[in-house]
Structure 1
Amino acid sequence: MNGRTVVTSLGAVAVAVLAFVIGVAVRPALVQDPSAAPSLTVVEVGYLQDMLSHHQQAVTMSQLVDRDGLSTPIRSLARQIVQEQSIEIGTMVGYLQLADEPIQSSTPMAWMHRDVDGSHHADTTAEHPMPGMASADEVASLGTLVGVAAENEFLRLMQRHHYGGIAMTQDLLSYGSAGGPVVRLARSSLTMQTKETGLIGAMLLARGISDGG
């Protein structure tokens, strides 16, 4: 890794940290206005906890491909994902803290009541705890690949990852909640990830790779 790559990687990390701080910084303002503190259902708490982990992996994979030797469109997409999902991570942490709920779930996916790709949440494993998540080996491999191989693998993994995140969000919305901050966040996330999934699909097809959806 040369000096320019190190600077680029540090820059991506800085963006993620800044976005995270912006999200969490909302907490003091909300505390001063108790009416703004979210009242979360058990399902919303579970969704926030699990989507936090889901987003964190997306940020990690995106940072792995923001480096020299990869194309500008791939790096631009990666930076967009880092920025958007880091801000949402900060917001989700803030909501959980305001509700005095733990950041991590002791029972991942227990809130989800709908099948995803034919597999119920109870069928998840330690290696694939949530829909669309990459395995530790897949993430590690992504960091070692170079050139087009790295780009194609990133697109493949991120497409699957977004499909999983979309399924989780659709499941939350299927509970029929009338509104609230978590539902608004979920709808915004759904819109963003749906658009990015379409872009990723187009990029894959342009490379002669079939859509995995």
Structure 2
Amino acid sequence: MTSPDDDEAPARSALGHALGGLSATGRVVVAVLVALALLVGVGVGATLVARPDAAAPTDRSVDAGFARDMQAHHAQAVELAVLLRDRSDDETLRAIALDILTIQQQQIGQMAAWLRLWGLPPASPDGPMAWMSDGGHAHATPGGGLSAMPGWVQPEDLATLRDAEGVTAERLFLALMIEHHAGGVEMARYAAEHARHGEVVRFARGIVDSQTREQVVLEDLLEARGGPLPG
């Protein structure tokens, strides 16, 4: 007989893989939220089994690669949002950070649920970003790790944000999140154009639309604070 813990293991593994490139602080914060996110994600993902377009993608498909790598990309956005909320008293920015945190965490759960329903492992056999390799895509660097993702924030930039406070932290956060969103849009647009599963295509298009709009708002907020920091 399969125990409840056995049933939940694939979803936990999927998120654990996605968090592997984050700092210890980011992993702890996101792990606290994972139980609720996975419950929501499984509920949403379960609708796939009843759809005509619900045939399980293959291990090396765009659908599976997107579901895996966008979890990691979203998890870093969650970490950035948490860092901002700890370093700024600006209510507008804190509200935006909370929105990013809650929505992207829920979407992590949804993508983890997809992989579980498809019977696929959390890690790609070819490493991060291999699913964007066709056509000589600039960011497709199999074996290059999470840093190969468009918009991925490097450790030194995260460290700079951790050491900042007030308006300085706000300007750093906004500049980093604008680039992070741009990378997420690039990944999602590719998935929307190349994925085979209708639910994945719709999901990716939603990310393109929402994060493109959010970029405009973030750019306005950054300009109001003096733009990116020099250097």
Name the TM-score, length of structure 1 as normaliser: 0.79
**SS where residue 122 of structure 1 aligns?**
coil
**Aligned residue number for residue 193 of structure 2:** 174
CA offsets 1:34-55 (integer angstroms, 9 cap, x no match): 4355522511001110101100
Q: 2:77 aligns with which of 47, 52, 58?
A: 58
* 8 A contact 1:38–1:181 mirrored in 2: no
**Aligned residue number for residue 178 of structure 2:** 159
User: Which segments of structure 1 move beyond 4 Å, counting only runs of 4 or more?
Assistant: 10-17
* 8 A contact 1:48–1:92 mirrored in 2: yes
Alignment of 1:97-176 (within 5 A): 97-106=116-125, 107-112=127-132, 113=134, 119-122=138-141, 125-126=144-145, 128-175=147-194
Q: 2:42 aligns with which of 7, 19, 24?
A: 24
Q: How many residues align structurally?
A: 195
In 2, Cα distance between the equivalents of 1:11 and 1:109?
25
* 8 A contact 2:129–2:139 mirrored in 1: no
Are residue 83 (structure 1) and residue 98 (structure 2) matched?
no
Deviation of 1:176 (Å): 6.9
Deviation of 1:151 (Å): 0.5
CA, structure 1 residues 167+124, in 2 after alignment: closer, same or farther (shift >3 Å)?
farther
Deviation of 1:84 (Å): 0.9
Structure 2, unaligned runs of 5 or more: 1-27
**SS where residue 172 of structure 1 aligns?**
helix
**Aligned residue number for residue 56 of structure 2:** 39
In 1, Cα distance between the equivalents of 2:62 and 2:29?
35
**Aligned residue number for residue 67 of structure 1:** 86
* 8 A contact 1:19–1:86 mirrored in 2: yes
In 2, Cα distance between the equivalents of 1:158 and 1:99?
31
In 1, Cα distance between the equivalents of 2:146 and 2:68?
18
CA, structure 1 residues 115+75, in 2 after alignment: closer, same or farther (shift >3 Å)?
farther
* 8 A contact 2:30–2:78 mirrored in 1: no
* 8 A contact 1:19–1:87 mirrored in 2: yes
**Aligned residue number for residue 6 of structure 1:** none
* 8 A contact 2:41–2:106 mirrored in 1: yes
**Aligned residue number for residue 3 of structure 2:** none
CA offsets 1:156-184 (integer angstroms, 9 cap, x no match): 1100000000001111122274x611111
In 1, Cα distance between the equivalents of 2:39 and 2:135?
33
**SS where residue 134 of structure 1 aligns?**
coil
State the one-letter code of the partner of 1:108: P
CA offsets 1:60-106 (integer angstroms, 9 cap, x no match): 11011112643111111100001110111111000010001122334
**SS where residue 108 of structure 1 aligns?**
coil
Deviates more, 1:95-104 or 1:150-159: 95-104
State the one-letter code of the partner of 1:204: L
**Aligned residue number for residue 20 of structure 2:** none
